[in-house]
Amino acid sequence: MQEPISWVGARRLLRRLRDIMAAGGSAQARLDQIVRVIAADIVAEVCSIYVMRAGEVLELFATEGLKREAVHRTRLRVGEGLVGDIAAYARPLALADAQHHPKFAFRPETGEEIYHSLVGVPILRDGRVLGVLVVQNRTQRHYTEEEVEILETVAMVLAETLATGELVGASELAPTDGIALLPVRLDGMRINAGIGIGQALLHHRRIAVRRVIAEDPQTELARLETALGELKSALDTMLASADMAHGEHREILETYRMVIGDRGWTRRVREAIQTGLSAEAAVQKVQNDTRARMAQVADPFFRERLGELNELTDRLLLHLGAEDEQPKPAELPDDIVVVARDMGPAELLDYDRAKLRGLVLEEGAPTSHVAIIARALAIPVVGRVRDAFSKIDMLDPLIVDGERGVVFVRPGEDVQQSFSESVRLSAERAASYAAARDLPAVTRDGERVALHLNAGLLIDMPHLHETGADGIGLYRTELPFMMRASFPTVDEQAQIYGRVLDLARGKPVIFRTLDIGGDKGLPYLPDGHEENPAMGWRAIRIGLDRPAMLRQQLRALIRAAAGRPLHIMFPMIAEVAEFDAARAVLKLEYERQVAAGTPPPAELKLGAMLEVPSLVWQLPTLLERVDFVSIGSNDLLQFLFATDRTNPRLADRYDLLSPPVLAMLRRVIADCAARGAAVSLCGEAGSHPLEAMALIGLGLRSLSVSPPAIGPIKMMIRSLAVRPLATYLETLIGLPGHSVRAKLHDYAVDHGIAI
């Protein structure tokens, strides 16, 4: 086969670049030589390299053809001019008539007015733009696709060398003088309040490719084939193993099919090898291109696929001998803010909690389990921060403002100062809540509201006494399971539950049986691929299908109680028959334990979580059997509105403070009141003062909330008169609008209710 001319040309050019890089000399001298060689090779009058400095400023670092005095003087912000445009969109631009492009920004010091055509490509690494490589010609030249490809390959080589600091030192990448550098501010959605200050830790692997340019494409193609083969058999072994270790089976399987089976993908890698890159650099180049292109896509499905693709290509890179650059735990600074595209709860728990100061997510939704865990750990979280990954670099200083949903990257002195001020103010507020610790949660018109805590880890337990809460209204037993590598034994479980009861010092604790599945996978319990995991095999469904697992947990609970009162509730009950089946498992286990000599609990109370709408229509029957009901509004709302609670795109689609939810809750509360049944709510909504106000207005007298919410909710209760609110709520239930949030907010403000 006749090789396309571009491959030969590209290989020759890359070899020259490698020789320049290997020859030593000052970084500037090497950059100058690089632009000269590229210009000559591509037959262009101009070749320039712009490097991204801190603060999103692109600075001309080297040029062949433009005026020398412009070097280190010409600077463009991202988005400014054609160069800024290439950086902003992370994609190439080839223009025969650049000067008439609306984005053209004339810089007199460069003398570029005589050049008509321009082709530029972003210098990309890890989906981030490190700079822009530009070629210009006097004539109105139409650049070919091959030429753009060659420049992209060259940019890939430059990216690796820029990243290793060989060409531009870290000090040169520091903020420029003479250009006012505002701290970068990224706006997102508030997911958990609080302020966190620390250094960024990007939650994904960084794979360092050391050898970028290769001598012989045939050798590299063979290496690629070998690595693909190795990866394939490694994945096959993993998939075939009995327990599909590491719980990554679904993602791996899908991505594996997508990538290895995708001829387009491997073809692009092979072509990149033909242009002179090593196999690993070629894989990384294609990964970079895909990342940059996909970064513009908002669709969560594609973004998820992209995450999986990255994961697989990272594995392939490791097979090709690239090195994992992720810092080891011991190398991490004391205060870290984790930055992730999205993340499951177990991944967050993998981080050293003593160092974790905040979490920034490109995706993220307030009722996702990672958000709930972060709340339990009192870690401020800002979600839906677009471009967090491309704007934040490893170890960048960050301030996470969970109160306002803002992240400050490399904040200046002024920002830091104002934050010390808000940290002081929130400390003051915390002190006022602490002062209210022993005050009763009683409304102005004398209604007492029981305030319980949501917990799930032993470290949550001290909050019970610090906040003066009445008890633990929801103990999520799955969290310790998620932090382990294998299923805990009955003894291990009993030890945890016993410790929880010890630490509760007689206050009631409601243990919820395992609620795994959905977004809470256990690495050691394969659940198979599910199209709709939130509506899939989870919670009590697993418990009933695997009764041994449920029985073991119940045995552990009965043993842990050791004669003390025991409160248990079952999650995701969809119908009375499920509750009966779960209760039968408990009854059997109880009898066995008592027969075996375990002291029976002083009292055994049994409840169901109301999380599936079908159960609303069977409440009267259910209430004859349960001691209490706990409304799990996180799931209840996602099923009621058919909106995935973890999908950030849908977060605004439904609201607890909307007529249909208020109408449903009014009915549930009335049904319970009619039968004298205890009812509480343990979803996240209860932790927000405005929502809690509405719930109390609807007649609820018990809430279970996250520890930091106890103070604010108690203050709200103490400033509220329930009776007029109840009357007002009646007028809202029939309204046609999407939400009555604004009306309730105004009501609270007008009536001096502390929300």
| Residues at the site binding ligand PEP, with contacts judged by CB under 6 A | 372, 474, 476, 515, 611, 632-635, 682-683
Letters for 602-621 (x = contact with Mg ion by CB under 5 A, - = none) are ---------x----------
Least gap, CB of 630 to Mg ion (angstroms): 10
Shortest gap between Cβ of 640 and ligand PEP (angstroms)?
Answer: 12
Q: How far is the CB of 228 from ligand PEP (least distance, A)?
A: 40
* Rounded CA Rg of the chain: 30
The Cβ of residue 145 has, within 10 Å, a number of other Cβ atoms equal to 10
- Six-digit token string for 119: 């082709």
Among 47, 319, 452, 682, the active-site one is 682
Q: Is 733 helix (H, G, I), strand (E, B) or coil?
A: coil
Distance CA 150, CA 42 (A): 9
Question: Residue 752 and residue 240: Cα distance in Å, rounded?
Answer: 63
Minimum Å gap between C-beta 674 and Mg ion is 25
Task: Report angle CA 446, 449, 455 to the nearest 5 degrees.
Answer: 160
Between CA 730 and CA 218 the distance in angstroms is 76
Q: How far is CA 644 from CA 363, 495, 684, in A?
A: 13, 35, 15
Q: How far is the CB of 683 from ligand PEP (least distance, A)?
A: 3
Report the distance separating Cα 462 and Cα 271, nearest Å. 60
Nearest residue relative to Mg ion (C-beta): 635
The partner in contact with residue 476, picked from ligand PEP, Mg ion, none with C-beta cut-offs of 5 to 8 angstroms by kind, is ligand PEP
Q: Is 635 in the site for Mg ion (CB under 5 A)?
A: yes
- Least Cβ distance, residue 684 to ligand PEP (angstroms): 7
Give the number of other CB atoms < 10 A from CB of residue 738: 13
With CB under 5 to 8 Å by kind, the binding choice for 65 among ligand PEP, Mg ion, none is none
306 binds, among ligand PEP, Mg ion, none (CB under 5 to 8 A by kind): none
Contact 705, 727 (CB under 8 A): no
Decide whether 81 or 683 has the Cβ nearer to ligand PEP: 683
CB of 682 to ligand PEP, least distance (A): 5
> Do 316 and 228 meet the contact criterion of CB atoms below 8 Å apart?
yes
Closest CA to 376 of 113, 706, 749, 748: 706
Residue closer to ligand PEP by CB (options 524, 639) is: 639
Instruction: Name which of Mg ion, ligand PEP, none residue 314 binds, using a CB cut-off of 5 to 8 Å depending on partner kind.
Output: none
Residue 682: active-site member: yes
- From residue 579, give the alpha-carbon distance in Å to each of 541, 546, 668: 11, 15, 18
Q: Which of 367, 408, 501, 352 is nearest to 186 (CA)?
A: 408
Report in angstroms how near the CB of residue 686 gets to ligand PEP at its nearest: 9
- Which one, 372 or 695, has the nearer CB to ligand PEP? 372
Cβ closer to ligand PEP: 456 or 689? Answer: 456
Spatial strand order of the sheet with 336-340 comes to 184-187, 406-409, 397-401, 195-202, 336-340, 356-361, 381-383, 189-192
Count of chain residues binding Mg ion (CB under 5 A): 3
Comparing CB distances to Mg ion, the nearer of 84 and 683 is 683
What's the gap between Cα 709 and its chain centre?
23
Taking the complex as a whole, the smallest distance from the CB of residue 375 to ligand PEP amounts, in Å, to 10
Q: Which is nearer to Mg ion, 149 or 515 (CB)?
A: 515
With beta carbons less than 8 A apart as the criterion, state whether 680 and 450 touch.
yes
Binds 682: which of ligand PEP, Mg ion, none (CB < 5-8 Å by kind): ligand PEP
Min. distance of Cβ 70 from ligand PEP in angstroms? 58
What values do phi and psi take at 172, rounded to 5? -70, -25
Which of 192/646 has CB closer to Mg ion? 646
φ, ψ (nearest 5 deg) of residue 568: -130, 140
Q: Return the residues of window 687-726 that contact Mg ion according to CB under 5 A.
A: none
C-beta of 561: minimal distance to ligand PEP in Å?
A: 22
The three-state secondary structure class of 475 is strand
**For the chain, how far is it from start to end, CA to CA, in angstroms?**
74
DSSP string computed for 361-416? ESS--TTSHHHHHHHHTT--EEE--TTHHHH--TT-EEEEETTTTEEEES--HHHH
Q: In whole angstroms, what is the distance from residue 63 CA to residue 429 CA?
A: 56
Copy the structure tokens of residue 584. 């039968």
Q: Contacts by 321-329 with C-beta closer than 8 Å and gap 24+?
A: 321/280, 322/207, 322/208, 322/209, 322/210, 322/280, 322/284, 323/207, 323/208, 323/210, 324/205, 324/206, 324/207, 324/208, 325/205, 325/206, 325/207, 325/208, 326/205, 326/206, 327/201, 327/394
Residue nearest to ligand PEP (CB): 632
SS3 48: strand
Stretch 414-453 residues interacting with Mg ion (CB under 5 A):
none
Q: Which does 633 bind (CB under 5 to 8 A by kind): ligand PEP, Mg ion, none?
A: ligand PEP
Cα gap 33→21, rounded to integer Å:
10
Among Mg ion, ligand PEP, none, residue 117 binds (CB under 5-8 Å by kind): none
> CB under 5 to 8 A by kind: which of Mg ion, ligand PEP, none does 683 bind?
ligand PEP
Structure token pair of residue 739: 């939400």
Residue 155 or 682: the one with the smaller Cβ distance to Mg ion is: 682
Measured from the CB atom, the residue of 62 and 540 that comes closer to Mg ion is 540
- Using CB distances below 5 to 8 A depending on partner kind, what does residue 372 bind out of Mg ion, ligand PEP, none? ligand PEP
Q: Which is nearer to ligand PEP, 376 or 715 (CB)?
A: 376
Candidates 369, 452, 463, 567; catalytic one: 369
Structure tokens at 672: 């319970």
Judged by beta carbon distances under 5 to 8 A according to partner kind, the member of ligand PEP, Mg ion, none in contact with residue 480 is none
- Measure the CA–CA gap between 733 and 697, rounded to whole angstroms: 12
Query: Closest separation between CB of residue 475 and Mg ion, Å?
Result: 13
Comparison of 478 and 635: residue with beta carbon closer to Mg ion: 635
Contact between 632 and Mg ion per CB under 5 A: yes
Question: Among ligand PEP, Mg ion, none, what does residue 543 contact (CB within 5–8 Å per kind)?
Answer: none
Q: Which is nearer to ligand PEP, 269 or 372 (CB)?
A: 372
27 exposure class (CB count in 10 Å sphere: 0-12, 13-18, 19+):
middle
Active centre residues (catalytic): 369, 682
Binding site for Mg ion (CB under 5 A): 611, 632, 635
